């Protein structure tokens, strides 16, 4: 995890005529994803909370040559996800790539106006909802879905110097009602973040099976530890004065984004689906994420979430 590892091969694929949707498009890795996808010739739909700011940032990064449009959406809100999917779906009957990159870590527990814990909303439901609601468009294009997850799901210790890895856990009983996930009782912010990413990967395995017959692939990826905005939220308060030093040992956003970009575009990965990658390497996830009954329950409750 060193900034010197930033010289990662840029994609040499031709995405002319393809549509790629990137969420969190104004963030550290999101901007790079938009830049690289437009450079490869794709028309990019950049989903972001602040359209004018993102438009400005992307204009600087992409220049005048790349083709992109910004769809403004707060993906922590159910109607934000639904409205974004509706707008994208109407404009683009074919969605060839969907990178669910938006994510957040919140230091305290908070609920969205829909009554769900914020990590569940931003780090899980946004990714599930866009994939589910854009299903027809993805099927029409035999598209690729990439969920940007986090290996915190395999180890929720923020400081990993002592002891053993502590994987995120999931109480299947809470899956009857998503407002019960990440309850106030025993709330630990980093565990709540990791649990939401675990939901994303768990659901990703299920969606991969459902969509495989239609030629759509769904994979999840941990990008590494990357010097972006989210890291400032993740560094424990006591270590913040050393933030610059901590950041200097991390991957650059360009390097971080390359793992998701590869899954989204590499011709060698055509047809590869239902996997979780730690960077370029296939990795395991907690047993609960592979339990078909848990996957099914999560799918049903999530479909209901967006139905009503
Ligand atoms: N950096 C790391 O070390 C690391 C490690 C593992 C996984 N990840 C994952 O990588 C992904 C990209 O994060 P990053 O590292 O590039 O961090 P970042 O710079 O903080 O970007 C996160 C993006 O998510 C967007 N976002 C947050 N809440 C949103 C909401 N309610 N609605 C719509 N968009 C929202 C942000 O939008 P605004 O610009 O509007 O704030 C921002 O563009 C995330 O899913 C993160 O969990 C990062």
Of 117, 129, 126, whose CA–CA distance to 177 is shortest?
Answer: 117
Instruction: Answer whether residue 53 is part of any domain.
Output: yes
DSSP string covering 227-251, please?
-SHHHHHHS-GGGGGGHHHHHHTSB
Mean pLDDT of 234-247: 78
Q: Give me the half-sphere count of Cα atoms (radius 13 Å) on the Cβ side of residue 213.
A: 2
pLDDT at 4: 38
Q: Mean pLDDT lowest for which of 3-12, 133-142, 144-153, 166-175? A: 3-12
- Evaluate: CB of 11 within 6 angstroms of ligand 1: no
- Evaluate: CB of 230 within 6 angstroms of ligand 1: yes
Contact 63, 90 (CB under 8 A): no
pLDDT at 278: 98
Name the percent of the chain lying above pLDDT 90: 84
Task: Give residue for tokens 């914020």.
Answer: 118
Ligand 1: residue whose CA is nearest its atom 7? 150
pLDDT at 3 over 70: no
CA-CA distance, 287 to 89, in Å (whole number)?
A: 34
Instruction: Answer whether residue 6 is part of any domain.
Output: no
CA-CA distance, 167 to 181, in Å (whole number)?
A: 16
CA-CA distance, 49 to 258, in Å (whole number)?
A: 23
Q: Give me the half-sphere count of Cα atoms (radius 13 Å) on the Cβ side of residue 203.
A: 31
pLDDT tier at 131, thresholds 50, 70, 90: very high
Mean pLDDT of 12-16: 89
Q: Record the tokens describing residue 104, joined without a space.
A: 């957040």
Instruction: Answer whether residue 4 is part of any domain.
Output: no
Mean pLDDT of 108-133: 98
What confidence tens digit (pLDDT) does each residue in 52-70 have?
Answer: 999 999 999 898 778 999 9
Cα 27 to ligand 1 centre (Å): 6
Instruction: Answer whether residue 5 is part of any domain.
Output: no
Cα 213 to ligand 1 centre (Å): 31
Mean pLDDT of 164-182: 94
pLDDT at 195: 98
CATH of the domain at 248: 3.40.50.720
pLDDT tier at 200, thresholds 50, 70, 90: very high
pLDDT tier at 81, thresholds 50, 70, 90: very high
Cα 96 to ligand 1 centre (Å): 22
pLDDT at 260: 98
Of 199, 184, 15, 21, whose CA–CA distance to 102 is shortest?
Answer: 21
Instruction: Answer whether residue 170 is part of any domain.
Output: yes
pLDDT at 10: 56
The count of domains in the chain is 1
Mean pLDDT of 212-226: 97
pLDDT at 5: 45
**Which ligand 1 atom sits closest to the C-alpha of 26?**
43
Q: Mean pLDDT lowest for which of 10-24, 118-132, 206-220? A: 10-24
231-240 long-range Cβ contacts below 8 angstroms, 24+ apart = 233/104, 233/105, 233/106, 233/107, 234/105, 234/158, 234/190, 236/158, 236/159
- Measure the N-to-C terminal CA separation of the chain; round to a whole number of Å: 43
Q: Which domain holds residue 224?
A: 12-307
CA-CA distance, 85 to 95, in Å (whole number)?
A: 11
Contact 42, 97 (CB under 8 A): yes
- Phi then psi for residue 127, to 5 deg, are -70, -45
Contact 81, 306 (CB under 8 A): yes
Ligand 1: residue whose CA is nearest its atom 21? 27
Mean per-residue pLDDT over the chain, rounded? 93
Instruction: Answer whether residue 201 is part of any domain.
Output: yes
Instruction: Answer whether residue 1 is part of any domain.
Output: no
Contact 130, 21 (CB under 8 A): yes
Alpha helices, H only, 147-291: 189-211, 229-234, 243-248, 253-265
Instruction: Answer whether residue 2 is part of any domain.
Output: no
pLDDT at 186: 95
């Amino acid at each position: 995890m060193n900034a010197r590892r930033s010289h990662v091969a840029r994609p040499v694929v031709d995405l002319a005529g393809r549509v790629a949707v990137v969420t969190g498009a104004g963030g550290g890795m999101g901007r790079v994803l938009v830049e690289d996808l437009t450079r490869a010739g794709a028309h990019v739909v950049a989903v972001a909370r602040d359209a004018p700011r993102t438009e400005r940032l992307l204009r600087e990064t992409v220049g005048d040559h790349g083709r992109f449009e910004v769809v403004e959406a707060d993906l922590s809100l159910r109607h934000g996800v639904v409205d974004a999917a509706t707008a994208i779906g109407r404009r683009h009957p074919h969605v060839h790539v969907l990178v669910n990159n938006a994510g957040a870590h919140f230091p305290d527990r908070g609920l969205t106006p829909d009554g769900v814990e914020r990590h569940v909303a931003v780090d899980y439901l946004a990714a599930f909802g866009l994939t589910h609601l854009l299903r027809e468009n993805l099927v029409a294009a035999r598209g690729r879905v990439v969920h940007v997850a986090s290996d915190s799901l395999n180890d929720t210790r923020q400081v990993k110097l002592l002891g053993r890895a502590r994987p995120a856990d999931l109480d299947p009983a809470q899956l009857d009602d998503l407002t019960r996930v990440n309850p106030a009782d025993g709330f630990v912010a980093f565990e709540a973040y990791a649990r939401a990413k675990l939901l994303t990967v768990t659901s990703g395995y299920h969606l991969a099976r459902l969509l495989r017959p239609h030629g759509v692939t769904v994979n999840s990826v941990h990008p590494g530890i990357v010097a972006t905005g989210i890291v400032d939220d993740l560094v424990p308060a006591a270590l913040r004065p050393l933030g610059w030093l901590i950041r200097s040992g991390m991957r650059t956003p360009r390097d971080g984004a390359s793992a998701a970009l590869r899954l989204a575009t590499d011709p060698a990965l055509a047809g590869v689906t239902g996997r979780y990658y730690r960077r370029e390497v296939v990795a395991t996830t907690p047993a609960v994420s592979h339990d078909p009954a848990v996957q099914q329950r999560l799918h049903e409750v999530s479909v209901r979430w967006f139905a009503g």
